[in-house]
Chains A and B, each alone.
Chain A
């Protein structure tokens, strides 16, 4: 599975959009981009995933560049409850496991 690179930490103001970047320059054609988050003392929570098209659900939007070498997770109106570590993961159809990196620690400020 391709390696991902994320900034170690970010912050944003409550009510504003949080844009979390992820680089995955070695991604191959059959690999998906997944986003999970982990709020303190809880298990990871699935947010969204995509292959090549942009995706949106009730939690977030995922923007994948045309060359698929990077993506951005967007939380449109961040709340204090969105403070967590966000993990960008690339996963292929041949892999059972999720490989978690260090993630981005997002702090939402009041």
Chain B
């Protein structure tokens, strides 16, 4: 079946502009996660959705970053007034939600490569 789909695959923007990144999770997956991978760095957690609500936003680096999820499916990560340090690959993952969180396998999309000039 279809995996996690992210769009666009690449985005080049100018400093100060707003960008929207989209994630389509695997059908039926109730949990959705956003991560960021900066050049030469490891992946860092940004936000977790359970259905349409986000019980854990602890990884969002600043108030310029926000995310929403509608209909328990598609999610959008928005970065306002982009800065050069926002340049990174933004990865989305989704999972089913069994009783034990550790059993919930996260499946990742290919990511959106954001370049802020």
Contact = CB atoms under 8 A, between A and B. Distances in A.
User: Does chain A bind chain B?
Assistant: yes
A101 interface: yes
Report whether over half of chain A's contact residues are helix, strand or loop; otherwise say mixed. Answer: loop
A98 to B, nearest CB: 6
A89 B84 CA distance: 30
A40 to B, nearest CB: 12
Contacts of B55: 96
A102 B109 contact: no
A44 B101 contact: no
Given A30-B102, A44-B91, A96 B42 contact: no
Contacts of B102: 30-32, 49, 91-93, 95
Interface string B82-117: 000000000101000000111101111111000000
Chain B interface category by residue count: 20 to 34
Nearest to A91: B102
Given A43-B91, A44-B91, A101-B42, A96 B101 contact: yes
A31 B42 CA distance: 21
B20 interface: no
Contact of A100 (B33, B43, B109): B43
Interface of A: 30-32, 42-46, 49, 91-103
